[in-house]
Structure 1
Amino acid sequence: MGDLMHAVGYRKPLPVDDPESLVDAEVPVPTPAAHELLVRVEAISVNPADVKTRRQADPHGFRILGNDAAGVVVANGPNVSRFVVGDEVYYAGRIDRPGSAAGYQVVNENIVGHKPASIDFGDAAALPLTTITAWEILFDHFGLQPGDAGTLLVIGAAGGVGSMVLQLARARTRLTVLGTAGRGESQKWATEMGAHHIVDRHDLVDSVHAVAPDGVDYIVSPFSRGNIDNYAAVIRPFGHIAAIDEPTGLDLLPLKPKSVAWHWELMFTRPILLPEDPYQHELLEKTAKLVNAGKVRSTATTRLGPLNAETLRDAHARVESSATIGKVVVTR
């Protein structure tokens, strides 16, 4: 293995067309501590969160980017109980630790799942972050149980999180699912992912009421600013809304007359603040079974390689364009 490994990261926030926005480096191979795995990274995927970090966050020297990953366990730290060397795994890591765009990565076993055996590393790497986010929204915040009914509205249904919300809602509940999608290609994708109805985000209230006259029970919101009045108009009394964006100064008072519950979802809350909680490990294990059974599919649509700075700049540019449907995957 050697003492050094290749990694991709950044030294200062720069536009993606700057050759220095993402650079190659040689860094020490990390050592797993208690309950940690050392994983040889075989594939990663790029999320909007990666782009936002690269553009805005101080790297404090050199920061390795990347959340999603799939790879092979090559060593275990003390007290690991869920994995052995040679296991193929997938996970989303932690935003306060070195990322997945590297030869090797250390990760706590409580946030790792066994890779679905029916798909390759690239397809698996597309899943963890968006799957965890979608799962926590549906089955943690909303408290949905298998077989539950009701009506769900997914804003940005063709996006990464939206695609997984649609699939998990269809695979594990009896919800009627509405989704917003703009272009014809996005509408087709959202329908393939499981949306029963496509609604118009530019005419949200009327288009939702056209297919759900009584309104909706649940809303997933990646674009909350400017939408609260619309949500108040279409949500049912005592409904639930989960937001994954970060709008400042958001006025939620229009939701109070209906006693609506507003949930913030950040999938890194458990890894950072509750590292002993195996919830994400367990949901990734359950998702792997759904994938192997053909009930959930990978959202990987674009494959790039090898894993170096030039390729990752290309991947970031594609994600920044907001024109990509599905996930951009980079393999070794």
Structure 2
Amino acid sequence: MESIQTVEVAIIGGSFSGLSAALSLVRSLRKIIVFDSERPCNKTTPASHNFITHDGESPESIRKKAITDLKEYQNFKLQLGEVETIEKTEKGFLLKGNGFSPIQTDKIIFATGLKDVLPEIPGFAESWGKSVIHCPYCHGYEYVGNQTGLWMNEPGVFEHSKFLKHWTKELTVYTNGPIQFSKEEQIQLEKEGITVVTEVVKTLIHNEGQISAIQLQSGKEIPIEALYTRLPMVQHSKLPEGLGCKLLPSGHIEVSNFYETNVPGVYAVGDMSSMFRSVANAVHSGNIAGAMLNRAMILS
């Protein structure tokens, strides 16, 4: 019969929010395990910005340093691999997956993140996180004044375009097809001097992820150095929803101010439960969730 390991808290997701929660908990004397599939959403990003003491470092080097720090605590365990099933039990939750024996845990913190749904256009995935970017606070400073595009075709495009013009005046909106936002927004964009290109995009011309032009279906090439995106996102893992965690219309997991989900004993941290996608926010949410979960366990 397969042996069952027991821990107090299982953290599913080994990137910034999960590791931050782990640090709060091991310093609170909790026996924990972190499951890491080694597939963080910023895996292809060469440098992380807007996170004090680590500005300009690669996300992977920051993550490895966090794991090194955590390994100094005897009550920390890192398990590589993916949790495949979670069963509710009288004692909490039973976690199963390939490469490890079943884990019985009292509490769960999900830190599995969101997955961006990239368009199937040559060069897009290769440039994602390098010169095809989502956040001006994370990457905008490096592209100040450059020829910049916004990949967006939905209501709110004018507000987002005006926002991005703070970093660059050389902004063009690419809709990749017929416009799907209002005539009013089209007029506003025109008044702001922002060009809208509706022709279908054929490919992003790039060199090792650094784009130099957008090639349209007609063959025309438009020079560009950075492309911001507003892409659809889905939960990276279906486990939270399968466990009964409530999803918001935005696709995020609904949580309290302390990152509790509607399922007792289950928390969700990082961008899977927040509109703000940054390393600093991920670390913040994990730190709060770990501390508040420990407090709840003491007072229960």
Q: Quick check: TM above 0.5?
A: no
For the pair shown, the structure with the greater C-alpha radius of gyration is: 2
TM-score scaled by structure 1?
Answer: 0.26
Structure with the larger helix share: 1
- TM-score, normalization: structure 2? 0.28
